[in-house]
Each structure stands twice: as C-alpha cells, then as structure tokens.
C-alpha cells in the first residue's frame, strides 16, 4: 500500500507514521475505555430508578458484580494503552537517537547551529509528550459527542447546557493558544540563549579566571538569567490565570448541571437517577477539553521541539549507505578551489590551485582572516560550502 504523501513530507513524520499500528491499538483501547465509561451512568439509573423502588437485592448484587468487572476492564485498558505508549516512546528514541546524533555532529561540524545538542532535549520533549497525559485527551476527545448525545437523550435541556459549556471551554482553549503561544516561545528562546551563553563562556574557564573576568561574566550571565526568569514568571502567571478560569468553569458546570437536573426532577421531567447520571456524563464529556486546556503549554513545547527536530534532520540528511571518507594518502592536490560563506558576498577562497607532495612539511602563513583555517577545513573535507 502506498504511503500518503502527507507523511512523506519529512523524515520525522515518516518515522511517526511507521508507528501507526501502535497508535491504532491505543485508539482501540481508548474506544473500550470511553464506551465502558457509560457504565457508571447506567448503573446510577438502575440503582435510583429501579432497585431502590423494586427492592430486588439479588438483581442489585448481580448488576453490581457486572459493573465491577467492567471497571476492571476499564482499568486494564487504561493500563495497556499507557504501557503501549511508553514502549512506543522507547522505540521511537531507539530509532532516532543515532540519527539525531549524526545530524548534531554534522550540524556542529558545519557550524550551522548555535547549540545542536539541544536536539536531544527536543527528542526527549517529543517522546515525553507522546507518553504523557496530554496525548490521551486527543484520543478521548472524539468520544465527547457520544456523551453529549446521551445527555440529549436524557433531556434536551441538559444536552444544550453541556453544549454551551463545551463551547466555552473550547473558546478558553483557543484563547489560551493565542495568549500563551508567543510568551512561551520567547521564554524558551531566552532559556536557550542563557544556556548557550553560559556554556560557551565556561569552555574558557581557565582564561576567564586568569584574566580576572569572572565578575564581569557573572554580571552578563545574570542579565540573561534575570531576563529569562522575568519572561518565565510572566508566562507561567498567564498560564495559571487561564487554568484558574478553566477550573472555575468546570466547577460551575458541575453545580449548574446538578441544579438544572434538580429543577427538571421537581417539574417531573427527569428522575433522580437521571439527574445524578447527567452530572457524571457532563464531567466525562468535558474532561478531554479540560485536559487539552491544561496541557496546552506542553503541546506547544512539543510542537516546537518537533519542528526543530524536523528542521535538523532535513538540513542534515543521512549519508547514503557505503559512503565513507576517501582513504588518506600522502599527496594532496587541489585545483580551482572555491570556498564561500552564506554571510559573505565575495568567496573566501577563489580559484586556488596547489599541490602538497607526500613527506614534505609545508607552512601556510598569512594575516588573520586571510583564509588559512578555511583552507585547512577544505583540505579535510569539512567546509560546508
């Protein structure tokens, strides 16, 4: 079967697509979990509307045992899908770690990135999101309309009320994305800039200590650190406000649903069991949306890590099988060598021809910036352009 072109757009998405069967199994387990989550609702309806009036103890015991068995099935399905995702994350890491290592090496060799080692943090971020709670919300969200339909079957007013709260929480999720996306991105960039600055300076710790530059270095790093912490504090404060708003809406919907159900019971349009079951159903209906709102920051971080990893693998493709460096020889000859750089209009080296016989010691001299290091990198085959 031919793979869809969408999943051929990058090496990383193709790798994730190779785990489509595992994701399908997770989806099946999620289907079992969400379908059986109707068990408490049906059980409440039977207890309050049938067993409490009929007083049939044997039937109550039998139904209770069936419910316990179904709860065990739910627990097994949730454990199985969590275990499967954890193993999927390990396999994803095993398949990509060597590839990311080689891409990081090529990136550092070509000096095309400030901190190519960050790619391993991005890989960890993507793997943790796949195995975290946020991913379950995307598997559970398609089942929310099922719960909403059951609420409409109990009473149209309850379905409309649930639909209103679902729309409000969806609006909160969209608002959260628009409000937190830019601050989160800037906070991440500030943290990376701080780490790169400190790492680059600590590599010359002996020189810094001998020249007495530690105080100035600390002040410069402190400026980066305070800027990062200020952005982090503002970003977290904004996210906490949105989460507080989401909790207020969730608590309000539980009470209002219970109040609306009680009003319908008073008017004789709903039973007591239906009132309690509707409250449970509404909470289950809105839980995926609420989880998405709570894990939105993690989703943004994982998306940016995915894009960065995707860019790294695209810019540094894997070497073809069998391609190795040419065996070292004593004599070296170059003809019309041209070396350019992306930030220069004129080439660094142009039309250079030279021959270095085996066994001779040759010195290359010249002023700073004349291209000596560039020539040396070209001779060993590591100049990027």
| In contact, 272 and 251? CB cutoff 8 Å | no
| In contact, 100 and 309? CB cutoff 8 Å | yes
DSSP alpha helix (H) spans, 203-271:
205-210, 214-266
Of 337, 349, 344, 342, the closest CA to residue 374 belongs to 349
Task: Check the CA dihedral 191-195-198-201 and report its sign.
Answer: negative
Which residue reads 């099935």 in tokens? Answer: 73
pLDDT of residue 2: 43
pLDDT of residue 69: 94
* Averages of pLDDT over each 10 residues, the chain, 385 residues: 48 84 90 87 79 74 89 92 88 85 75 62 84 81 85 87 85 78 78 77 75 80 83 81 80 84 87 82 81 74 83 76 56 78 74 77 77 76 64
pLDDT of residue 54: 67
pLDDT of residue 385: 58
Convert the pLDDT of each residue in 306-316 to its tens digit: 888 888 888 77
pLDDT of residue 5: 45
Task: Check the CA dihedral 242-243-244-249 and report its sign.
Answer: positive
pLDDT of residue 328: 58
pLDDT of residue 98: 83
pLDDT of residue 59: 80
| In contact, 100 and 313? CB cutoff 8 Å | yes
Burial of 60 by CB count in 10 Å (0-12 exposed, 13-18 middle, 19+ buried)? middle
Per the DSSP assignment, residues forming a β-bridge with 352 are 337
pLDDT of residue 79: 92
Convert the pLDDT of each residue in 107-140 to its tens digit: 776 665 545 567 777 888 888 888 877 788 888 8
Q: What is the CA radius of gyration of the chain?
A: 31
pLDDT of residue 144: 84
pLDDT of residue 320: 60
pLDDT of residue 72: 93
pLDDT of residue 296: 72
Number of H helices, E strands in the chain: 14, 2
As a whole number of angstroms, the distance between CA 36 and CA 38 comes to: 5
pLDDT of residue 326: 58
pLDDT of residue 259: 87
pLDDT of residue 68: 92
Per the DSSP assignment, residues forming a β-bridge with 136 are none
Q: From residue 65, how far is each of 40, 76, 232, 292 by CA, in Å?
A: 13, 17, 51, 34
């Amino acid at each position: 079967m031919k793979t869809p072109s969408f999943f051929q757009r990058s090496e990383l998405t193709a790798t994730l697509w190779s785990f489509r069967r595992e994701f399908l199994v997770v989806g099946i387990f999620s289907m079992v979990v969400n379908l059986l989550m109707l068990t408490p609702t049906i059980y409440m309806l039977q207890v309050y509307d049938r067993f409490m009036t009929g007083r049939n103890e044997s039937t109550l015991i039998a139904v209770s045992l069936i419910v316990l068995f179904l709860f065990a099935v739910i627990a097994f399905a949730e454990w199985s899908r969590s275990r499967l995702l954890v193993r999927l994350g390990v396999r994803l890491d095993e398949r990509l770690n060597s590839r990311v290592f080689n891409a990081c090496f090529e990136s550092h060799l070509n000096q095309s990135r400030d901190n190519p080692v960050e790619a391993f943090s991005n890989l960890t971020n993507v793997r943790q999101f796949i195995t975290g709670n946020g991913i379950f919300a995307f598997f559970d969200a398609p089942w929310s309309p099922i719960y909403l339909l059951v609420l409409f079957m109990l009473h149209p007013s309850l379905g409309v009320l649930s639909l209103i709260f679902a729309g409000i929480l969806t609006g909160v999720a969209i608002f959260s994305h628009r409000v937190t996306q830019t601050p989160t991105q800037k906070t991440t960039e500030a943290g990376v800039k701080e780490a790169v600055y400190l790492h680059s300076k600590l590599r010359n710790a002996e020189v810094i200590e001998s020249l007495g530059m530690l105080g100035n270095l600390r002040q410069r790093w402190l400026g980066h650190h305070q800027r990062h912490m200020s952005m982090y504090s503002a970003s977290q404060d904004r996210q906490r406000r949105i989460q507080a708003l989401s909790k207020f809406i969730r608590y309000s919907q539980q009470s209002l649903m219970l109040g609306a159900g009680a009003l319908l019971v008073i008017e004789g349009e709903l039973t007591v069991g239906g009132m309690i079951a509707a409250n449970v159903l509404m909470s289950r209906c809105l839980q995926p949306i609420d989880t998405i709102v709570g894990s939105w920051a993690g989703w943004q971080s994982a998306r940016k890590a995915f894009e960065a990893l995707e860019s790294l693998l695209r810019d540094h493709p894997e070497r073809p099988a069998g391609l190795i460096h040419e065996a070292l020889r004593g004599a070296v000859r170059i003809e019309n060598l041209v070396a350019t750089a992306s930030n220069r209009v004129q080439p660094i080296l142009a039309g250079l021809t030279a021959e270095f016989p085996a066994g001779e010691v040759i010195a290359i001299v010249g002023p700073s910036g004349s291209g000596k290091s560039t020539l040396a990198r070209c001779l060993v085959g590591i100049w990027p352009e």
